[in-house]
Amino acid sequence: MSRFVLITPNADFERLVRLAVSGMHGELHAFKADYLPEGPADIMRQMVGEPPEVLILGPGVPVADSLKLAAVVDLQYPEISVVLAVTADPETVVQAMRAGVRDLLDPGADPDTIRVMLERASLAAAGRRRGLGPQATEHADHGAGRVIAVMSPKGGVGKTTVATNIAVGLGKSAPMGVVIVDLDLQFGDVASGLLLEPEFTITDAVMGAASQDSMVLKTYLTVHPAGIYALCAPRTPVEMDRISAAHVSHLLEQLRKEFRYVVVDTAPGLGEHVLATLEQATDAVWICGMDVPSIRGMRTGFGILDELNLVPAHRHIVLNMADRRAGLTLKDVEATVGAPVDVVLPRSRTLPFSTNKGVPVLQDGSRDAALKGLRQLVERFKPEWDARPHKQLHRRAVVQ
């Protein structure tokens, strides 16, 4: 469990931080004061158990005093990340950097922004602890999460768009409990689809210390403003050769122990990395377009997976870019595939535009014809879904 300490006289800011921490697996100790102790030891004496991971200073506390305390913390307790809540200006930024402050937080930030920053600071603290000593950090085992493999028999059917929206949608009900993994190792687009510039990629995550320790692995993930993590594809296609199916299996085993949901955007087809993903998957989301090659490819894929006994416990079929003018009906699709369609996403101009912009529609709330279908798809992965009555469910799907 992450531990956060806040020192501020500002009750409104304390309320925002409490809201942010409530969406994380952590606890907050708040001290209402407009002054700081002489040193970090005074703070530690008031704590019971393990020391904090993140120390938040201000607003309402003298900036000069905060910088002095941050410098001492950085020297005596380098495993603690210090976050300074202050309106930033160039001079303060430089001084904060010199004092070892991990991040500057706008005092007017909303709880979601605060949550992302605190999670970043917590991960930095975990990384520092790993570098300072061999001891392991204890963390609660919440059991294995769901591994959702988003798949398609061919490219160009909107697989990444659906995968990023699933991750963002689940992130609203499980903040910081979702990670999306880009396993299209040659041409993955999760980074651009989420407007991310990752410091590390999946290549870094499956090599070295991260493959041996899940807490180190978490420091290799990229935090997204929607309250989810991302592990993006390699920077160059040639790095694909360094990642084996065994790497993929081990990576997903690690992630499902740390996260409630692991959304995997796979490469088109049934390559070795996709098959390794299916061995770990609890759910498979199949995406097909309203064209004959895509639909036949899905039927062939189902047949192969049945022979290999690699069909996950839960299967969800999504018909994307549905359009009556395509010359096919929903019944045609279901008859060819040999299974009912679970979610229909009508053809949309906004959906591909949102992917190009790097902001999924479930993140910005844009009005779109496909929005209802995406929300229905996300609902299928929530714990209460199986308890709901689903009579005649598939007959409700309608192609507009």
Tens-digit pLDDT profile for residues 20-65: 998 777 789 999 999 999 888 888 888 777 778 999 998 999 999 9
End-to-end CA distance of the chain: 48
- In the chain, the number of structural domains is 2
Q: Give yes or no: residues 330 and 363 share one domain.
A: yes
Q: What CA–CA distance (Å, rounded) separates 278 from 299?
A: 17
Residue 387 confidence class, pLDDT cut points 50, 70, 90: low
Per the structure, the complete domain to which residue 97 belongs is given by: 2-132
Residue 386 has pLDDT above 50, yes or no: yes
Q: Give yes or no: residues 78 and 211 share one domain.
A: no
Question: Does residue 141 lie within any of the structural domains?
Answer: no
Question: Does residue 41 lie within any of the structural domains?
Answer: yes
Percent of the chain with pLDDT over 90: 40
Residue 131 confidence class, pLDDT cut points 50, 70, 90: low
Q: What CA–CA distance (Å, rounded) separates 303 from 230?
A: 32
Compute the C-alpha angle 95/219/173, nearest 5°: 105
Q: Give yes or no: residues 104 and 181 share one domain.
A: no
Q: Which of 93, 109, 132 is the last residue of a domain?
A: 132
Q: Give yes or no: residues 310 and 287 share one domain.
A: yes
Q: Read off the CATH number of the domain in which 6 is found.
A: 3.40.50.2300
Q: Give yes or no: residues 155 and 301 share one domain.
A: yes
Percent of the chain with pLDDT over 70: 91
What's the pLDDT at 332?
86
Q: Read off the CATH number of the domain in which 304 is found.
A: 3.40.50.300
Q: Give yes or no: residues 273 and 219 share one domain.
A: yes
What's the pLDDT at 138?
36
Q: Give yes or no: residues 84 and 190 share one domain.
A: no
What's the pLDDT at 130?
59
What's the pLDDT at 16?
94
Compute the C-alpha angle 80/85/90, nearest 5°: 105
Q: What CA–CA distance (Å, rounded) separates 10 from 167?
A: 34
Q: Give yes or no: residues 320 and 244 share one domain.
A: yes
Residue 209 has pLDDT above 70, yes or no: yes
Question: Does residue 65 lie within any of the structural domains?
Answer: yes
Q: Give yes or no: residues 74 and 200 share one domain.
A: no
Q: Give yes or no: residues 73 and 183 share one domain.
A: no
What's the pLDDT at 202?
94
Q: Give yes or no: residues 267 and 346 share one domain.
A: yes
pLDDT averaged over every residue in the chain: 85
Question: Does residue 175 lie within any of the structural domains?
Answer: yes
Q: Give yes or no: residues 282 and 379 share one domain.
A: yes
Q: Which of 132, 156, 178 is the last residue of a domain?
A: 132
